[in-house]
Amino acid sequence: MNLKQLSDLLGLSQTTVSRALNGYPEVAEATRLRVETAARVHGYIPNTRARSLATGRAMSIGHVIPISTKHEMVNPIFADFIAGAGEHYARAGYDMHLIVVPDAEEARTYRALAARRNVDGVIVHAPRVHDPRLPLLREIGLPFVVHGRDSGETAPYSWLDVNNRRAFARATGFLLDLGHRRIALINGLEYMDFALRRRDGFLRALADRGIAADPALMRADEMTEPNGYDAARAMLAAPDPPTAFVVSSIISAMGVRRAIQERGLRMGADVSVIAHDDELSYFRNADGAGIPIFTATRSSVRQAGRQAAEMLLSIIEKPEPDPLTRLFEAELTLGRSTGPRREGD
């Protein structure tokens, strides 16, 4: 069933039917009603491609997820972010287009994306420092919103991000308040912008108390469970082990917990851990009773997805001269993984 068939059926012109369906004012209310019921009855739904060819709007948003060719990893927060964004798109009548880009072919892929005009804008995931995608997208003229920020980028752009620096400074400060002095940082890869900010926050909190950071207690790697385990195990086995950990992800924190337990120590009593919790659906940070397992800096990545979608659509639908930005504060939620430094440590 296409527009022509429907309008023939109704004895109206395609123009009138199209207008009726798209809510234009110049069609009589009685006609609109007649058209709408006919459309419903016959299951008429406009062909997206024809429509977007005519309007110039693709009604589709691209999500560009970089696959690090080195590690072949997909960011685990990606699925939840997508789910959040998808909710908003569905409401707004947009489609979601996924573009999996090996970092080697970024430029080519983006140019093709823009030329082929099948998305109205993109969400940029996992920005690095001096991320080449931002100037590229600007040059191409494709609207975009970045999930995260790029400290290396000087020109303004739209982004939303959690206050990573503040969150990690607070987490570290909290551990210092508990008396800890040997605090380790298990971070993500530090060419990722968020990881750099977290590191900054960590270092700043230490510096504020006049404590020198120990490079042996800082590790940056892909945020997997085994990596968390390996890092923590090595540190705990060293001569002057940490009494507390700040960890960039719940996933690596699970590895840290394993290393702690394996050493016969109790998390929360002997060793404290604060993790960053993105509220991933498969790692709800809560025990059966709903009490958080990890003390955590918390910020829902799913919620971020919803907001990113909302921002991008608003930019596309009515472009503003100034870019949109949104900064979330992470909550610091108390769980059972932190406690005062034990005497003698």
List residues near DNA by CB under 7 A.
Answer: 2-4, 11-16, 18-19, 21-22, 26-29, 31, 44, 46-47, 50-51, 53-56
- Contacted by 26, from DNA, its own copies, none: CB < 5 to 8 Å by type: DNA
118 vs 163, which CB is nearer to its own copies? 118
**Between residues 87 and 345, which has the closer beta carbon with respect to its own copies?**
87
CB-nearer residue toward its own copies: 201 or 292: 292
Q: Which is nearer to DNA, 47 or 261 (CB)?
A: 47
The sign of the torsion formed by the CA atoms of 232, 235, 238, 240 equals negative
**Directed axis angle between helix 3-10 and helix 14-21, to 10°?**
100
The residues, any chain, with a CB within 8 Å of residue 302's CB and separated by 6 or more, are 80, 81, 83, 84, 279, 281
CB neighbour burial string for 309-324, b if at least 16 within 10 angstroms, e if fewer? bbbbbebbeeeeeebb
CB 92 within 8 A of CB 100: no
Closest separation in Å from C-beta 47 to DNA: 4
Return the number of the residue (26 or 343) whose C-beta is nearest DNA. Answer: 26
Q: Is 112 in the site for its own copies (CB under 8 A)?
A: yes
In whole angstroms, the minimum distance from the beta carbon of 285 to DNA comes to 46
The DSSP line for 290-315 is: S--SSEEEE--HHHHHHHHHHHHHHH
Which of the listed partners (DNA, its own copies, none) does 91 bind, with a CB threshold of 5 to 8 Å by partner kind? Answer: none
Please give the structure tokens belonging to residue 177.
């308040």
The answer to whether residues 123 and 308 touch, using CB atoms and an 8 Å cutoff, is: yes
Instruction: Decide if residue 223 touches its own copies (CB under 8 A).
Output: yes
Q: Rule CB under 8 A: is residue 53 a binding residue for its own copies?
A: yes
Between CA 104 and CA 111, with CA 108 as vertex, the angle to 5 degrees is: 140
- For its own copies, give the closer residue by CB, 80 or 131: 80
Site string for its own copies, 247-266 (x = CB under 8 A): ----x--x--xx--xx----
| Amino acid (1-letter code) at residue 258 | R
- The alpha carbons of the chain give a radius of gyration, in whole angstroms, of 25
Q: Provide the Cα torsion 93, 328, 302, 146; round to 10°.
A: 60
User: Which residue is associated with the tokens 């931002």?
Assistant: 134
> Residue 217 binds which entry of its own copies, DNA, none, with Cβ cut-offs from 5 to 8 Å by kind?
none
Token look-up 């303004």 returns 156
| 87 touches its own copies by CB under 8 A | yes
Choose the one of its own copies, DNA, none that binds residue 82, judging by a C-beta under 5 to 8 angstroms depending on kind.
its own copies
Q: Determine contact, residues 61/96, Cβ cutoff 8 Å.
A: yes
Please report, as ranges, the residues that interact with its own copies according to CB under 8 A. 1, 43-50, 52-53, 58, 63, 65, 67, 71-76, 78-80, 82-83, 86-87, 90, 95-100, 111-112, 115-118, 222-226, 229-230, 251, 254, 257-258, 261-262, 281-284, 286-288, 293
